[in-house]
Amino acid sequence: MSLPFLHGRIATALVLFTLAAGVYGLAEYLRKKPISPSYWGLIIFGNLLALVQGSLGGWMALQGAQPTRGWLHILYGVVTVLWIPAIRLLNRHRAGRDATLTCTLVSLFEFAVALQAMGTA
């Protein structure tokens, strides 16, 4: 299995995963729930998936591969890895339902960024 193929499959999984995290978070928000451990687990797994994706991309870059749009694709990749730090930063003074909404919005933003990253590959 080639690295570009694996990088592409993980990108697809990341797009679907961030969408699932956003939809799950929205359902939790509408049910007036705080961030649950299962939702945090979903977000952490998604961030780990983004780290694996970035590592594969970095390895491919070291081997001489270049994305079609160059630095724009790399920028999207860096933003995708910042999923948990963004949530931590934005949820500093929030709790309960407001924190769930923040996680939901960041997850949906990550979905859009991952989708854009696929478009610039």
Widest CA span of the chain, in angstroms?
A: 49
DSSP class of 68? T
Domain count, the chain: 1
For 56-83, how does the pLDDT look when each residue is reduced to its tens digit (9 = 90+)? Answer: 988 998 998 888 777 888 888 888 888 8
For 4-60, how does the pLDDT look when each residue is reduced to its tens digit (9 = 90+)? Answer: 899 999 999 999 999 999 999 999 999 999 999 999 999 899 889 999 998 998 899
The CATH number of whichever domain residue 76 belongs to comes to 1.20.120
Assessment of whether the complete model's pTM goes beyond 0.85: yes
Q: Which domain holds residue 26?
A: 3-119
Give the CA radius of gyration of the chain: 15
- What secondary structure does DSSP assign to 18-65, as a single string? HHHHHHHHHHHHHTT----HHHHHHHHHHHHHHHHHHHHHHHHHHTT-
For 105-117, how does the pLDDT look when each residue is reduced to its tens digit (9 = 90+)? Answer: 999 999 999 999 8
Predicted confidence at residue 34, as pLDDT, reads 92
